[in-house]
Structure 1
Amino acid sequence: MEKQQNHIPSALHALGWTSVLQDQLGPDDNGLEPMRVAAVHRSTITAISVGGRVKLSLPAGMTTANFAVGDWVLADPQIHQITRLLDRHSLLQRQTVGARQLQLIAANVDTVFIVTSCNDDFNPARLERYLALTNEAGTGAVIVLTKVDQTPDVADFERTASGLQRGLQVVSINGKSQDAIAALAPWCRAGQTVALIGSSGVGKSTLLNTLARKSEDEAQATGSIREDDAKGRHTTTSRSLHTIEGGAWVIDTPGMRTLHVSDLSTGLDELFAEITELAPSCRFRDCTHQHEPGCAVQAAVAAGTLDAARLARWSKLRVENEQNTPVVTGARGNKKTSARGRRR
């Protein structure tokens, strides 16, 4: 970090600018200004520059669908138009029903806070989907357990969450308390960027308001979870970039009720490392770990060293990922992309 500050203006560094971004600049970029995407609209982009917020237009051939909150762009400061999108060091994206392209969620994120509440909304299978998404994006992940003041047994939630992935960090907070700022401070240093993802009503907006110390007039709208089914109401309707206590940046995202997996290569392997490591010991190279003789994974289940429910969830996500990921076929220069199967 100190090396970056030696040759990067402090004002740009405070926005999350790094030496990797600096190295992308060339002589042709003289006169252009680096700006960070704070919000994506239908036909324009709101960005943050050293001088403040700017509304940017796009040149012919560009659409806002190509941009994510957190992106860095080079723009002409005179006409407020984007010239170039810089390469990302991380990108959160997901498959949505009926869409041909992946939906961009957040870019250039250092840590993802996967937010869930200590009540009936807590769902290990759903958290695994968020973790797979985060792993594939190449960012760190922290499970943030909220509403700890409303449950008598936080430890049980912590044990279950920490067992979802090796080395996973879990933090329990009351999102309305100022203590949450100190608890999450290790990931919220100056120039760092975190993204809040999770279902509706788990406390993402409440946590953002606390971290950013927003006044009552500035605060993000919050919504409670329904008592009959523990499901939340959507309060955040679009992605947005906010500065928070300590000089970090937070990307707030709308709640995701459904999350399909697709286009995953290493995300599942990292999530289910205990299965990935056993697979080479199976008798058959293409073992599905369901019924084949000589399966090391099934042997681990029988021995009680691998949870059968965990294996079942791995199998479901693996099949879903294969069916949702397009297949590229055809000779070189005549490639075609087609769906592998029906989405589950």
Structure 2
Amino acid sequence: MKTEMTSKNPGLADLGWTAFFQSQISIDDLSLSLPVRVLAVHRGQLCVAGDGGETMIPSYLHDARSEEEYPTVGDWLLINRDTHRPDRVLQRTSLFKRRAPGTGRRLQLIAANIDTLFIVSSCNQDFNVARLERYLVLAREAGVTPVVVLTKADLTDEPEAYARAARALQRGLLVETVNALEPGDLAGIRAWCGSGQTVALMGSSGVGKSTLINTLTGARALATQAIRDDDDKGRHTTTARSLHRLEEGGWLIDTPGMRELQLTDTAAGVEEVFEDIVLLAKACRFSNCTHEAEPGCAVRAAIEAGTLPPERLARWRKLAAEEAFNTETLAERRARDRSFGKMVKSVLKRKERTRF
């Protein structure tokens, strides 16, 4: 059934349409299809906007062969002019993804075609360098500029101490400390919010993302809840990924607070965020150095010299191992498990024979 489009649309260019997307469609495509951008993802439906305005369309894509081929927030689609059903997802400039929470192997798309990622934390007990590093890995892998935004700067006497800790995570990292309730305090991050630009917010629950969005959009549409005094954490209120219009003319994609952010297919991002350790490892005497007790280990030497915190090495090891585990395909894992099972059976048979 055809769905009528409304007239709320700001135009393709304002939505972030560029020559990169234009180059993917032909005159024949436009005779049958309309380009639209995904504003929000709901169960079984997408809210999209294009030259015809906004509408709701089904999310089903008949020829999608993997999770990455399904549309997500920020995607550009071609939809049928008559039925408004999606025909295909245009190639993306960037894509954020993760393994879905739990023990399954399903891939979950977070957002697409992002120019800048605002990594939101707060100047209180929620500040966590390990969590920031996870978001930085996602941003670097996607080729998106990360900006760490530290909220609730007005609630601490030492906001710069939090900023220094964040800047120490990667050379040249952009860090802004703000009071999200004050519009004038956000001047430093508004430069990334101009017309045609798309920014995304990532951060755990209670760091003030909804307040930041409300101030940047000049609205009070998103619910917020008070901070609990006992642990400095707010109750999570955002339940679905969606795209919001910014006062400067750009677009902002919000994402729900992620309790379980598992990395996958991000080996390059891990290397870039932990570039200091990677460079040190190349100077080790042995190419397969485990950085434990081998002679000539440049990584251990840096720790002993006090130039590399041991906890940063531990975090690198954890993320690298997690990324490798999650990236391994189910077929590879089954093959490895079968090989291990055969080895165990062989050992048991040899032991059984030696008993007699």
Structure 2 residue aligned with 1:161: 166
Deviation at 1:12, TM superposition (A): 1.4
Q: For residues 64 and 338 of structure 1, do their structure 2 counterparts lie closer, same or farther at Cα, with a shift above 3 Å needed?
A: closer
Structure 2 residue aligned with 1:333: none
Structure 2 residue aligned with 1:315: 317
**Number of aligned positions between the proteins:** 322
Residue identity matched to 1:18: T
**DSSP 3-state at the match of 1:187:** coil
Structure 1 residue aligned with 2:253: 251
The separation in 2 between residues aligned to 1:136 and 1:225, in whole angstroms, is: 33
Deviation at 1:290, TM superposition (A): 2.5
> 1:43 touches 1:64 (CA, 8 Å); kept in 2?
no
**Partner deviation per Cα, 1:270-309 (whole Å, 9 max, x = no partner):** 1111111112111111222222221111111112221222
Structure 2 residue aligned with 1:39: 40
Structure 1 residue aligned with 2:29: 29
Q: For residues 99 and 27 of structure 1, do their structure 2 counterparts lie closer, same or farther at Cα, with a shift above 3 Å needed?
A: farther
Deviation at 1:158, TM superposition (A): 0.6
> 2:116 touches 2:144 (CA, 8 Å); kept in 1?
yes
Structure 2 residue aligned with 1:5: none
> 1:41 touches 1:64 (CA, 8 Å); kept in 2?
no
Deviation at 1:63, TM superposition (A): 9.5
1:70 to 62, 74, 80: 74
1:149 and 2:162 are equivalent in the alignment: no
Pick the structure with more helix per residue: 2
State how 1:7-26 maps to structure 2 within 5 Å: 11-26=11-26
Structure 2 residue aligned with 1:204: 209
RMSD of aligned Cα (Å): 2.0
Q: For residues 50 and 262 of structure 1, do their structure 2 counterparts lie closer, same or farther at Cα, with a shift above 3 Å needed?
A: same
> 2:61 touches 2:88 (CA, 8 Å); kept in 1?
no
Residue identity matched to 2:122: S
Residue identity matched to 1:189: G
Structure 2 residue aligned with 1:110: 115
> 2:37 touches 2:77 (CA, 8 Å); kept in 1?
yes
The separation in 2 between residues aligned to 1:261 and 1:284, in whole angstroms, is: 28
Residue identity matched to 1:14: D
Structure 2 residue aligned with 1:7: none
Question: Which one has a bigger Cα radius of gyration?
Answer: 2
Deviation at 1:258, TM superposition (A): 2.4
State how 1:128-147 maps to structure 2 within 5 Å: 128-147=133-152
The separation in 1 between residues aligned to 2:197 and 2:89, in whole angstroms, is: 20
**DSSP 3-state at the match of 1:20:** helix
Structure 2 residue aligned with 1:4: none
Structure 2 residue aligned with 1:3: none
**DSSP 3-state at the match of 1:266:** helix
> After the TM superposition, which of the residue ranges 83-92 and 19-28 deviates more from structure 2?
19-28
> After the TM superposition, which of the residue ranges 165-174 and 74-83 deviates more from structure 2?
74-83
Q: For residues 59 and 282 of structure 1, do their structure 2 counterparts lie closer, same or farther at Cα, with a shift above 3 Å needed?
A: closer
1:175 and 2:180 are equivalent in the alignment: yes
The separation in 1 between residues aligned to 2:49 and 2:121, in whole angstroms, is: 29
**DSSP 3-state at the match of 1:338:** helix
Q: For residues 210 and 167 of structure 1, do their structure 2 counterparts lie closer, same or farther at Cα, with a shift above 3 Å needed?
A: same
Q: For residues 226 and 290 of structure 1, do their structure 2 counterparts lie closer, same or farther at Cα, with a shift above 3 Å needed?
A: farther
TM-score (normalizing by structure 2): 0.86
> 1:92 touches 1:137 (CA, 8 Å); kept in 2?
yes
**Partner deviation per Cα, 1:167-213 (whole Å, 9 max, x = no partner):** 11000111111114422122112101000010111111111111110
> 1:239 touches 1:254 (CA, 8 Å); kept in 2?
yes
TM-score (normalizing by structure 1): 0.88
Q: Percent identity?
A: 51
Q: For residues 263 and 291 of structure 1, do their structure 2 counterparts lie closer, same or farther at Cα, with a shift above 3 Å needed?
A: farther
